[in-house]
């Protein structure tokens, strides 16, 4: 059986069966769960992808689409507990060879790309054309466009540009039976029927394999000022955000909140000293300017921003801060934020939550959840950071002496955090997706009608349940 499957796949596309490489690609992005698979298939075109899907459908083989394997929710790797028989019918489909940027259109402001293009490569190509592709996240050197779209990734510029879904115009998808769905329309307006494109964005490889996309580009800013500011107390984040937003309008492009614990972890991992006396909460924010300098307003804008910050410091909302003077300064400040996930992982990791609530309820949610956690688990150590501007936090929990403490109590900790978030009208999967990690929690917490409709869609598009089974929703084939 596996011999037939492998033989057919080998004729259709590049195939890797070396057990070490298959094993390596089957380890989840956090390095916590070792999955099992038979082989890796690496198609180099839509046609090859379609042929691979047809073969897998005939053999009822599971197909796990994989881009950069940066998933934080066990989305892109097979299950660890497959039987030998199941593992012998499980194929990782890597998009690495679908890696061409096919077109940059500076008039329509769009890029046509294959799904395996690395996010950072697209950002570079857009910059070379005098544009930006604004989606930016710490994993951008590894994450690939198909994965970014399949998880509806967010990142640090959602505040201004929205998440992946708002940056995609067209899509090409290979369905579970090998049919190619061509939705490659470079249109900003198209009301010709149901929006199938948006169904596949955020579907985490469970409804189809994305092979191409048409993405929106944006004008490049002329300059940005990055501010790192220490808050007097957590509640001051609301004052700072509302004052800055009123002052800058859409020029406020990122607004990140960072707790003391993750900031100290990254400072120590990178051998850097704190840029000022740290308080419990720090904000990192970007303010951009566009167009040429002919309006002569740069100096006035600068003075007004400095007045605003002086005012906030006088009120005690901000206790210290740094304002970047150059792009190199800005990058050095952002390196702190982007270094957090890697530094925490090297320090042993923690129990991760990726949650969102309305921005106006974030402060109360943090305070209430931290109080509940410490009451039940006195040795737990919250390590919170994330996209305050989007109401989205990485509400991660380690242990005072060792991360093992949090892992020991993982299920109960997860329940406390998720229940608090849901009570505040929030979501337990804000930007990383559901993967395998949150399926049970989704089943516990989602509205029954919504879950049933999701299952019905899955059954319609993948009746044999071969595409990334066990992710997002569980359905009996």
How many residues bind ligand FAD (CB under 6 A)? The answer is 37
The mark string for 155-194 relative to ligand FAD (x by CB under 6 A, - otherwise) is x---------------------------------------
Where does this chain touch ligand FAD (CB under 6 A) — which range of 70-78, 81-89, 232-240, 319-327?
70-78
The least CB distance from residue 246 to ligand FAD, in Å, is 26
Long-range contacts of 370-376 (CB under 8 A, 24+ apart): 372/416, 372/420, 373/397, 373/413, 373/416, 373/417, 376/412, 376/416
Give the CA distances from residue 472 to residues 205, 206, 334, in Å, rounded to whole numbers and listed in that order: 9, 8, 32
* Residue bearing tokens 């929703």: 473
The least CB distance from residue 75 to ligand FAD, in Å, is 3
If binding is defined by CB under 6 A, does position 70 make contact with ligand FAD?
A: yes
Q: Which of 38, 39, 137, 237 binds ligand FAD (CB under 6 A)?
A: 137
If binding is defined by CB under 6 A, does position 282 make contact with ligand FAD?
A: no
Q: Which of 46, 226, 356, 468 binds ligand FAD (CB under 6 A)?
A: 468
If binding is defined by CB under 6 A, does position 13 make contact with ligand FAD?
A: no
Give the CA distances from residue 439 to residues 54, 160, 310, 451, in Å, rounded to whole numbers and listed in that order: 27, 30, 47, 11
Where does this chain touch ligand FAD (CB under 6 A) — which range of 133-141, 297-305, 326-334, 399-407?
133-141
C-beta of 397 vs 434, nearer to ligand FAD: 434
The mark string for 334-363 relative to ligand FAD (x by CB under 6 A, - otherwise) is -------x----------------------
C-beta of 139 vs 284, nearer to ligand FAD: 139
Where does this chain touch ligand FAD (CB under 6 A) — which range of 67-75, 102-110, 185-193, 244-252?
67-75
Where does this chain touch ligand FAD (CB under 6 A) — which range of 50-58, 68-76, 184-192, 281-289?
68-76
Where does this chain touch ligand FAD (CB under 6 A) — which range of 34-42, 153-161, 272-280, 454-462?
153-161
If binding is defined by CB under 6 A, does position 469 make contact with ligand FAD?
A: no
Q: Which of 51, 135, 44 is nearest to 95 (CA)?
A: 44
Q: Which of 35, 75, 391, 470 binds ligand FAD (CB under 6 A)?
A: 75
Give the full edge-to-edge strand order of the sheet including 180-183: 101-105, 110-114, 209-216, 168-174, 180-183
If binding is defined by CB under 6 A, does position 151 make contact with ligand FAD?
A: yes
Give the CA distances from residue 332 to residues 125, 280, 327, in Å, rounded to whole numbers and listed in that order: 23, 21, 9
Q: Which of 26, 72, 226, 265 binds ligand FAD (CB under 6 A)?
A: 72
Cα–Cα distance, 396 to 406 (Å, whole number): 10
Q: Measured in Å, how far apart are the chain's first and last C-alpha atoms? A: 20
Tell which positions 402-461 bind ligand FAD, by CB under 6 A: 431-432
**Secondary structure (DSSP) of 175-213:** -TTS-EEEE----S---SSS-HHHHHTT-TTSS-EEEEE
If binding is defined by CB under 6 A, does position 71 make contact with ligand FAD?
A: yes
Residue 228: CB atoms within 10 A of its CB come to 25
If binding is defined by CB under 6 A, does position 204 make contact with ligand FAD?
A: yes
Cα–Cα distance, 255 to 156 (Å, whole number): 8
The least CB distance from residue 399 to ligand FAD, in Å, is 21
Burial of residue 31, with CB atoms counted within 10 A of its CB: 0-12 exposed, 13-18 middle, 19 or more buried = exposed
If binding is defined by CB under 6 A, does position 29 make contact with ligand FAD?
A: yes
C-beta of 158 vs 217, nearer to ligand FAD: 158
Structure tokens that stand for 216 in this block: 């929106």
Contact 158, 387 (CB under 8 A): yes
Contact 144, 210 (CB under 8 A): no
358 alpha carbon, distance to own chain's centre: 19
Tell which positions 300-319 bind ligand FAD, by CB under 6 A: none
Q: Which of 153, 181, 251, 473 binds ligand FAD (CB under 6 A)?
A: 153
Cα–Cα distance, 462 to 208 (Å, whole number): 8
If binding is defined by CB under 6 A, does position 148 make contact with ligand FAD?
A: yes
If binding is defined by CB under 6 A, does position 46 make contact with ligand FAD?
A: no
Cα–Cα distance, 81 to 83 (Å, whole number): 6
The least CB distance from residue 221 to ligand FAD, in Å, is 20
If binding is defined by CB under 6 A, does position 265 make contact with ligand FAD?
A: no
Structure tokens that stand for 219 in this block: 């004008």
If binding is defined by CB under 6 A, does position 43 make contact with ligand FAD?
A: no
Contact 254, 285 (CB under 8 A): yes
If binding is defined by CB under 6 A, does position 154 make contact with ligand FAD?
A: yes
If binding is defined by CB under 6 A, does position 49 make contact with ligand FAD?
A: no
Q: Contact positions toward ligand FAD, by CB under 6 A?
A: 29, 64-72, 75-76, 95, 115, 137-139, 142-144, 146-148, 150-151, 153-155, 204-205, 209-210, 341, 431-432, 468, 471
């Amino acid at each position: 059986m596996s011999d037939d499957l492998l033989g057919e796949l080998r004729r259709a596309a590049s195939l890797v069966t070396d057990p070490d490489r298959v094993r390596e690609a089957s380890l989840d992005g956090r390095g916590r769960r070792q999955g099992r698979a038979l082989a890796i298939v690496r198609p180099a075109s839509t046609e090859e992808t379609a042929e691979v899907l047809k073969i897998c459908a005939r053999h009822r083989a599971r197909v796990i689409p994989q881009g950069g394997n940066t998933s934080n929710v066990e989305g892109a790797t097979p299950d660890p507990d497959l039987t030998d028989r199941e593992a012998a019918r499980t194929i990782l489909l890597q998009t690495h060879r679908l890696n061409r940027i096919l077109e940059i259109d500076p008039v329509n402001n769009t890029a046509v790309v294959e799904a395996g293009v690395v996010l950072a490569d697209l950002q570079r190509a857009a910059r070379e054309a005098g544009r930006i592709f604004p989606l930016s996240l710490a994993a951008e050197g590894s994450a690939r466009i198909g994965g970014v779209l399949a998880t509806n990734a967010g990142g640090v510029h959602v505040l201004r540009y929205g998440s992946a879904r708002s940056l995609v115009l067209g899509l090409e998808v290979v369905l579970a039976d090998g049919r190619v769905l061509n939705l490659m329309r470079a249109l900003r307006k198209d009301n010709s029927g149901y929006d199938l494109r948006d169904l596949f964005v955020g579907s985490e490889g469970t409804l189809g394999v994305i092979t191409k996309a048409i993405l929106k580009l944006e004008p490049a800013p002329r300059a940005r000022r990055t501010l790192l500011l220490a808050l007097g107390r957590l509640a001051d984040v609301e004052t700072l955000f509302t004052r800055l937003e009123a002052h800058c309008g859409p020029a406020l492009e990122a607004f990140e909140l960072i707790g003391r614990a993750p900031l100290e972890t990254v400072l120590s991992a990178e051998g850097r000293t704190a840029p000022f006396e740290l308080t419990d909460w720090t904000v990192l924010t970007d303010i951009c300017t566009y167009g040429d300098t002919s309006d002569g307003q740069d100096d006035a804008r600068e003075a007004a921003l400095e007045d605003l910050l002086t005012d906030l410091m006088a009120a005690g909302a901000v206790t210290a801060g740094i304002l970047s003077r150059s792009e190199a300064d800005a990058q050095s400040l952002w390196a702190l934020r982007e270094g957090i996930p890697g530094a925490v992982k090297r320090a042993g990791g923690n129990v991760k939550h990726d949650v969102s609530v309305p921005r106006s309820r974030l402060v109360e949610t943090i305070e209430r959840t931290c109080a509940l956690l410490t009451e039940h688990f006195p040795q737990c150590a919250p390590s919170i950071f994330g996209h305050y501007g989007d109401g989205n936090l990485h509400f991660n929990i380690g242990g005072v002496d060792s991360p093992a403490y949090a892992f020991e109590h993982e299920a109960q900790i997860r329940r406390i955090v998720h229940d608090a978030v849901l009570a505040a009208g929030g979501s337990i999967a804000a930007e990383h997706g559901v993967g395998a990690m949150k399926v049970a929690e989704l089943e516990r917490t989602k509205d029954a009608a919504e879950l049933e409709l999701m299952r019905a869609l899955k059954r319609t598009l993948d009746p044999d349940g071969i595409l990334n089974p066990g992710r997002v929703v569980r359905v009996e084939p």
